[in-house]
Amino acid sequence: MASEQELNDFLKNVEKRAFKRSVYHVRDEEAALDIVQDSMMKLAEHYGDKPASELPMLFQRILSNCTLDWFRRQKTRNSLFSNLSDFESASDEGDFDLLETYSGSADSEQIESAEDSTRRKQIFQEIEMQIKELPARQREAFLMRYWEEMDVAETAAAMGCSEGSVKTHCSRAVQALGKALKAKGIQP
């Protein structure tokens, strides 16, 4: 059984990654925040008594289900109502900064030039944009495997599919990303 402190520590550690993953999926920061908060509440309410080792898998599954529920609600809402904000300019959106997750430590001996820093930021923005363009299942598998660093079996369990499907989705995602980035002149 996970103690209250273990549950709190787990939720603190997973919060930022879960939020970024949700933003990639739903492309709306406010909705992503709601999804993550709902997922955390469900984990605490329904599975807080589970062993700490089971929390990561349970949370990933809950997060995936909450995301699917959000998409279902959006589909229903959009079929019933026309939202005027859909026609407004997208210029009000804040930039999602992937660079913050990659920035080195402040006491790093190597000092990066402004040109290198700008180039790196542009590359990460392009990678982020290409990840957002992936089909939903490929994006989900890719983020779980390479962002969350889950193994194939864990990813399959969280996605509710076979390990072969996870491997296929990841392979296709990597190929699509590689092709898109190569077309933009970004080499590994």
The domains located in the chain, with CATH, are 1-80 (no CATH), 115-188 (1.10.10.10)
pTM for the predicted model, two decimal places? 0.54
Residues shown for the chain: 188
pLDDT, tens digit only, all 188 positions of the chain:
888 899 999 999 999 999 999 998 898 999 999 999 999 999 999 998 899 999 999 999 999 999 988 988 887 666 544 433 443 444 444 444 444 434 554 444 456 678 887 888 888 888 888 888 999 999 999 988 888 888 899 899 989 999 999 999 999 998 998 888 888 887 75
Q: What confidence tens digit (pLDDT) does each residue in 174-185 have?
A: 899 888 888 888
DSSP class of 53: G
Distance, CA of 150 to CA of 18 (rounded, Å)? 13
Q: What confidence tens digit (pLDDT) does each residue in 98-122 have?
A: 444 345 544 444 566 788 878 888 8
Angle ∠(9,128,98) on CA atoms, nearest 5: 45
